[in-house]
Every structure is written in structure tokens, then in C-alpha cells.
Amino acid sequence: MGRLSAASGALGWSALCALCVLAGLISPMAHAKDSVLVLMSGGEAEAPEARARVQDALLEVGVGRVGFATPEALEGGLGLVSVNSRVEDDACGGVVSLNDWARRLAGAENARPDEALLEFSLLDLEVACLDMMVSRSQLQRVQIGMTRVHLELARGDGDVTFHENQAATAAETLWSLGEDLSLPPLDPNLERFLLSYKPGFDRRDAAVVAGGDAGQVYLDGQLLGSERVVRSAGLHLVQVETGGVVLSAARPFLPEGDLVLWAGTLVAGELRAEVDALAAAGLPAPLLTAVEGLVGERVVVASVEAGEVRLYRPDGTSMTGGRDSRLTFGDGQPGVDSREPRQPRERAIGTWSWTVGAGGTVGGADFAYGPVDLAGASGGLALWARGAISGDWTWTAALHTQARSERLPINYDDDWVWRAHVPVRIGAHWGRPSEGISGDLGPEAVVVFLGSYGDEPRLRGGLALAGGGSFPLAAGFSARTEAWIGGGPSWWYSGGVTAGVERSW
């Protein structure tokens, strides 16, 4: 019996030793499976051997799988939406009290359908103008109320198609607030209608994180951070709050893809500036911290200088002293993976990156000192384009084809002749890009083509001042009106108004 116990003890010690040896063998293999995405900076970041040096430095801290990207590629592959003002307040006539708004919401839920429709529409318009944070349940009540009222009016003497379409829109907006919301007790027919619009497997999703030092970011009443939150693409309420007060808010259309909602102002190249500052001085990179939540991998910044490679996490923590235990890694075989990171849907910095539009133009001009008298009113087709430069500045370009008819004296073969000229305008406007109501103003250079006379084109050049505004119509589409006036040497002048429809991306 004693021999059996001794044998059992020896067997136990042997098994324990074997497990220790196995653990020692597995540990380096586990470290070799660690994987990161690397952004490089420093004086020798572009050197041919830079990647190999970074890979060697990462192996020393237990990272064996490495992907490389540039800050420019990472920034260009994400939607960066800056929220830094109360742009919607003008549409509401000023800031709206949350207490009064909530009281009106309770009244609308018990009002007659025709009165309730007007009140729910105003309540829905005013959510981006509230002075304090609104809850998701309150936003949910607005959309449920809108759906119910439109269905009731569709069963009455109203426009059935219109009210059914509006009920469907409200139901889709309801589910864009989050599919984790549960419906309150409802009429069975209304509940069935709402559930029929719950997104299915083919829905278009926006994956969203938030950051910025101007306050805490809320999406449809839900606090956001660097953790990825998925919502259906569409109109959403974004509020930036500090101390219970909403400092800035907007209601942009969030497209399918990966998006960062930023409390504050962003400019083009922000991510590159953060990476360089982190590599040079170990300064935290808050935008990179937010972006990390979207790229699907842990991010490391490598400072590559002569004879030295330093590794940093986005929060400024140095990895050089040992393996960073906060990293999380995926499975994979040991070795180096130099694949470029996955590229999300491309969206440039700002609420929109560029816009093109078309419409009509009318105006007046005086080219009496040109090759032919073109003084008078004219009209025609206008084409334009705008794009974000940085901050609140955008580049602008417009081309007009303007003409007017002029009666000919007697004895001519024709009774009328058409006089035409083509102004081309290029400039820079100041005005915050927005998916809502927006305006802009700025200087432009103007070149006017007056036609070709004697095989020699006649041109006039000068300066102009132009300003315009846009009003959203549907997802990505807006109505725009713009006025401009300019002139130049020889005392010519030209000006006009354009109006039409534009599309933003």
C-alpha cells in the first residue's frame, strides 16, 4: 500500500514537471502569435530597412505578426465627423428647453391625430436644438408616435400613400436608434407594423466610435467612447455634453462604413500630426485611440531613428521596456504578416468630402468694351463643385453657360441673335461643411469667355465675391442657391444667382 502511494506521488511529480516544460515551450509560441498594426514615424521611417528593424523590435516584446499602414491611408479610409457647434439651432429659432420639449411630447401622445402630427414633426425637428441631453426612450416615443399618427390618418380621408410612406420612414428611424431597444406595450397592429421594418441581414451598417476633448459624445442619447457601436445607416442625433449641458449638436446622415464622431474641430492631416508627436515626445494620440476601435487590430506607433526604434501605444505608453499586457491578439501562426490593413469605406475628413451640383443661373453683365456688346440680362445652365480643404474652408469651382436673345435690325436674314458668354469661377469659401442647413462665403477668381472673333478668343479676367447656402432634401442630396458678383479691368462686371440640386459624398 505504501509502495502504491509512493508510485502515485512520483507519477504526480513527473506529470507536474512535464506540464512546466510544456508551458515553457508554449509561452514563446503564444508570444509569437501576437499581432499589431504599425504606423511609423521618425527620421528613418522611409528607409528600406525600416520595416525589418521595427519587426525585430516587436519580436523582442513578444509580437510576431505585423501589419503596416500609413496615417494618411488610415485617415482616408474612415469617416471623421467633427461636431463643434449648434448648427441646427437656426432651424428651431434658437435653443429649445428639454423640459418644455418633454412636456409637449406627453401632450402630443394624447392629442387628436391632425394636431399630434404637427407636434410630433416639430418635436422631431427640434431634437438637435435641445439644451440638455435627450434619452433614447424619448427619441423612441417620438418615432412611435409619428408612426401611429400617420397610420391613423392613412385610414381616414387623407392621402393614403403619403401617410403610409411617412409611417414607414418613422419606423425605420425608430430602429436606427438601436435594435436593442424594446417596444413598450402597443396596439397589436402598430406593433406588427413596426416589427416589419426592423432591419434584416441585408441592412447597411455604420460602425461608430467617439473621441475629442470638447465633451462627451452621445449618439441618439447613448454615450459613446472608443468601443465600437453598430447602428443602421441613416439620420442620427449627435450631441456633445459637458456638465449636463449640450455644447454642440448635429443631426447628420451617417453612411455605411466606419466613422469617428469627434467632439471638437478636426483638420486634414490630424492623424499624421498625432503620430509624429507621439513618436517624437511620447504625447498621447486621442484620435488614434478612437480609430483603433474601428480598425480591428491593436495599433503601435514606431519611432524609427538612427540606431534606435521606440514603440508606443496610442495612449503614450512605451512598449520598449517589455511586453504590453493590455494588448489583445488574434490567432495565427508564428511569422511576419506584412499585409496592408483592411480599408473601410473611404470617407475624407469632415462631414462631407466633396460636392457636385447642377442647376440654372440668371444674371446681368456689362461687356460693352469687349469684342461685342453683351450688356444685359442672361441665363442658362450652371455646374459647380466644392470640396473640403481644412477646418471650415472649402475650395469652390463653377461654370456657367449664359445667353440672351437680341432682336436684329430689319434687312437681316434672322429676326433674333443669341449673345452668349461663359464665366468660370474658382475660389475658396469659408463655411462649415454640414449635412444640415449650411452657408458659405468667399473670394473667387473669374475668367469669362466671350467667344472667338477672328480666330482669336476673347477673355476677361477679374475677381468676384460669392456666397451660398444649402438645404438637405434627401440622403446626400441638397438644394443650393448661390449669388455672386465680380468684375475686372476695362470696367466690366458680371453677376448673378444660381439655384439647383447638389450631391455630397
Q: Where is average pLDDT lowest: 8-12, 116-120, 256-260?
A: 8-12
Q: Which H or E element spans position 289?
A: helix 286-295
Q: Band the pLDDT of 409: cuts 50, 70, 90.
A: low
| Through-space distance between the first and last CA atoms of the chain, rounded to whole angstroms | 83
- What mean pLDDT is predicted for residues 180-204? 83
Q: Residue 124's closest CA among 161, 164, 177, 74?
A: 177
Three-state DSSP class for residue 392? coil
Of the ranges 100-114, 246-260, 426-440, the best mean pLDDT one: 100-114
> Is 354-504 a CATH 2.40.160.20 domain?
yes
Q: Residue 220's closest CA among 234, 198, 209, 236?
A: 236
Write out the three cell numbers for 92: 428651431
Instruction: Specify whether the CB–CB gap between 390 and 266 falls below 8 A.
Output: no
Better-scored residue on pLDDT, 62 or 142: 142
What is the DSSP pairing of strand 299-305 with strand 34-41?
parallel
No. of helices (H) and no. of strands (E), the chain: 11, 22
Write out the three cell numbers for 102: 418633454
pLDDT tens-digit map of 222-236: 999 988 888 888 889
Please report the pLDDT score of residue 425 as a whole number.
96
Instruction: Specify whether the CB–CB gap between 251 and 92 falls below 8 A.
Output: no
Better-scored residue on pLDDT, 139 or 160: 139
Query: What percent of the chain has pLDDT above 70?
Result: 78
Q: Band the pLDDT of 33: cuts 50, 70, 90.
A: very low
DSSP code at position 128? G
Please report the pLDDT score of residue 19 as a whole number.
33
Residue in the structure block whose three cell numbers are 508606443: 312
- What mean pLDDT is predicted for residues 108-123? 93
* 178 conformational bin, left if phi > 0, alpha if psi -120 to 50, beta if neither: left
Report DSSP letters for 76-99, one per residue: HTSEEEEE-SBTTHHHHTS-B-HH
Q: Where is average pLDDT lowest: 158-172, 347-361, 458-472?
A: 347-361
pTM for the model stands at 0.58
d(C-alpha 131, C-alpha 255), whole Å? 26
Q: Which H or E element spans position 34?
A: strand 34-41
Three-state DSSP class for residue 162? helix
Better-scored residue on pLDDT, 485 or 412: 485
pLDDT tens-digit map of 258-306: 899 999 888 778 899 999 999 999 999 999 999 998 887 889 999 999 8
Maximum CA pair distance of the chain?
A: 136
Instruction: Specify whether the CB–CB gap between 264 and 241 falls below 8 A.
Output: no
Please report the pLDDT score of residue 6 as a whole number.
32
pLDDT tens-digit map of 320-368: 654 443 333 333 333 333 334 434 333 333 445 678 999 999 998 887 6
Phi and psi of 277, rounded to 5°?
-65, -35
Please report the pLDDT score of residue 345 as a whole number.
36
Please report the pLDDT score of residue 495 as a whole number.
93
Residue 308 has pLDDT above 80, yes or no: yes
Q: Which H or E element spans position 303?
A: strand 299-305
Please report the pLDDT score of residue 187 as a whole number.
92
Three-state DSSP class for residue 262? strand
Put the strands of the sheet holding 216-219 in their side by side order.
222-223, 216-219, 238-242, 245-250
